[in-house]
Structure 1
Amino acid sequence: MDALIEAFGSYSIGYVVVLVAAFIFLYKIYRKVAQAIVEQHDVKRMQDEKIQQILDQESKYPEWRKQSLNIQEKLTDRLDNIEQSQKSVIRRLEEIEAERKRQKCNELRDRLLQAYRYYTNQDSNPRQAWSEMEASAFWDIFADYEINGGDGHMHTVVEPTMRALRVIQMDEQEQVAELIQSRR
């Protein structure tokens, strides 16, 4: 103990208390600085990890680009196939529509010829006349025939003959009745 008194004997207790307080203060500062350094180290490590992730992803860009180009090529092929299918369907629809028009035209021509034979026949229509309603119905069918592509003898033979028939107005009831009575 003598050695302790000899070494520290000249110092007062107040001085020792200040010295201890200084050590405690320095210890607390050391802990805060160490904690700040550890936190900064952790932040830097996280930044380095993120940078490494970005670099790893960047190295995958050529692979992703290749995948993207493959997908684009597949989509382009599929769109081309769809376009070809669509053209085929449109072509088929046009064929079906042309066939439908041809059939409708034939059907309308048949109806027009039946009317032509009936109204221009001296035995079935001796007055060579027709009512306004009959004429309107005939010309409506004739217009449908033309819309569906009808042409030919209907215009050169049937149309002029039918236009030559006398039209009896519907408000002339006596003449309409006589017309109907004269027919067989």
Structure 2
Amino acid sequence: MRRTMVLKGSAAIVAVTAVAAVSACSTAGSSTATQTHGPSPTQAATSGAEGFSAKQAGKQETCQQVEASIGDPLPSDKTQSKVGLTMVNTGTTTCVLRGFPGVRLTGKDNLPWDLTRTNDPVVDVTLAPGAGAISYLTYLPTTDPSGWAVATLQVTPPNTTATQTLDWKLGKVVLQDAATHPGTYIGPTVGLLG
């Protein structure tokens, strides 16, 4: 009787040892398999960078040589007025203009006012050499003697650092530089000039 119990106990110990050994092998195997089949973080980052470069390779360069000018106010029956800011590609290659120009009004009192941007969608505008795009500046004019007298308009075309200073000849505006939703603001570059 005692001999039978000892044999059964030994069999149980052997069985437990065998399961533990198989489990250890499975764990080691799965760990090795994961390392073999899945890319490391470094490999994943490298692959992503290569994919990004390949996708971007077909795109046009952003315009860096751009000349800005201001047009005449557009007809309006509202209290706000709108004027087009023209941006011409003066470079020798076709390029893309995308986004909002930076716009600052400076008063005759030397006060600067950086205009807020609209929530309008941004699109790529492809410009051949000599072609131009337009962005609309909406402003709140006033004939009130206490209105803000603007001296200059500074324009920085999208994705450039080439700020250009233009004379402002559109009269006084309502100064709302501290307003949450001012009546004077700039829109994105929206399309080619006719």
Which structure: larger Rg? Answer: 1
Fold shared per TM-score above 0.5: no
Report the TM-score when normalising by structure 1.
0.38
